[in-house]
Structure 1
Amino acid sequence: MFDPNRYDGRMPYRRCGDSGLLFPAISLGFWHNFGHVDNFQESRKMMHRAFDRGVTHFDLANNYGPPAGSAEENVGRILIEDFVCHRDELLISTKAGHDMWAGPYGEWGSRKHLLSSLDQSLRRLRLDYVDIFYSHRPDPDTRLEETMSALATSVHSGKALYVGLSKYPLKKLKKAVKILKQMGIRTLIYQPPYSILNRWPEANGILDWLQEEGIGCIVFSPLAQGMLTPKYLDGIPADSRAARPEGFLQTEQVEAQQEKIRSLGDLAAAHGMPLHHLAMKWSLRSSAVTSSIIGARNVAQLDDTLDSLKCPDLEGGLLEAIDAIAPIDKK
């Protein structure tokens, strides 16, 4: 069913910190385009195509959809119908912490929420365990010891092989990693947003610290929710994500970055590549970054983004030019 040559070297694999795991340089995420509102057969084709091209890591969260939970339900159906013989070739991650169900325990970082959510995710995914279970965001009102104890329990119970943290600021990240270590659990990986237009993991010293600690880093939104694609070079198209009233990307966000986007587009064109290929190669330029998570609407878009790996590595002069256009914000 799948390409027998999927591990022929086209997809580079990168070690996750100093762990025993290797991740594909590009991972497939299910934040958008895999919910019940989307075309199920296209979702299935994208998972098949990704695996055929060596993508062995699928990244989910409890609330991905829409509606919330539906991405896990759809992926679970595809896994049980098409991938059951390949489970041990895959890394499957999920997360808990954002708003998921009604009532006081439907979000944040309590043991109640995290462990209940993990059980729900496993049922939707039709799996006995996930490879990585994340705390999706820090909880300002719950002690880190409680949140980390839930992650530790997920491993001790066999429902997760590893644990990760997402979007924690450096001070809280350091404390969380220390608490987990005291509980006998090593933090495998950290997941922040990261792109040419959003360099806060660099500005705050997170990438350097993760590398010192031997913790992997998998970044999301390397294309800044589509801003670092040719789509927004000439304004905001009527059918674009930014033109819709709902969602995370808003018109004013694009407008605020328009000058940088156009300058980066010109720079990419001068070096013979499309803007999104430049942005993907940039997101992987650091040895601190294990993998970069992409989303895709269809197989053609998936193939196009994966083809960015064929581009040459970015050299010093080009990196300096990118820095001049979009410098690190040290505030």
Structure 2
Amino acid sequence: MGDNHTSVSVLGLGLMGQALAAAFLRAGHATTVWNRSAGKADALVADGAVLAANPADAVAASGLVVVCVSTYDVVHDVLGPLGDALRGKTVVNLTTGSSEQARQAAVWAEKNGARYLDGAIMITPPGIGAPASVLFYAGEQAVFDTHEPVLRLLGGGTTYLGTDHGKPALFDVSLLGLMWGALNSFLHGVAIVETGGVKAQEFLPWAHMWLDAIKMFTADYAAQIDAGDERFPANDATLATHLGALEHLVEESEALGVDSQLPRYSKALMEGVIAQGHAENSYASVVKAYRRPMAS
């Protein structure tokens, strides 16, 4: 299945779908494409793709069917009417959605006789095909193993997460949350140092240095959380120490006229967990606040 004789159909030609199809074409795979707006296929057709007139023709053209559309509802709108035409096909769904939608789609695919992998793309379209680009997949191991050589064309960081079809969605939203949290904190920091005449690019290398240090903290915290005993040893600083420093951030933000909502949110989390008896524990104990959200 990993050679250039493998045919692939790509349904959905937004920017991401176009990038997926282009990666298959570059590797020499016979590639059939379909999109509701046929004009989006023009460049791909010029590069050798075959434009299918409808989803049924696209599915019939290949054993491996990659779907990347706007929502899971659209997935079902496009593939739902095909019924038995899906039997024996492998559907790889790279549409963004929830873990429950992924699991329901897997049940639907099985009822229609299709093999099914659900996935998540952790890169923007220009990064498709790059060695470091990560794509997550879940489903039956044998199905992934069969198609891994072709799927790896989309990113060298192609990773199998197991049989739970919902797992890629869980990784997707959690990693995006990490990204937004880090970006918001970086921009909040920029707003603070700007008041002292510091440019964002002058601050940037120190932000990078500190992000590397944070990696060490998270490694310790992950081990503590997985230990499951909730003792959360303070190997670096106690939660009470963190709270004291954070209070300075809140005060400095307000004194400088910088929005303080972000540090105030963190302060509220810490205070709630300290109230549960974790003042002398590590910052890892704050996970308790996320598991059991406290009243605002």
- TM-score tier after normalising by the smaller chain length: 0.3 to 0.5
- Calculate the TM-score normalised by the size of structure 2: 0.33
| Higher helix proportion | 2
- Calculate the TM-score normalised by the size of structure 1: 0.30
Q: Which has the higher contact order (CA 8 A, sep 6+)?
A: 1
Bigger-Rg structure (1/2): 2
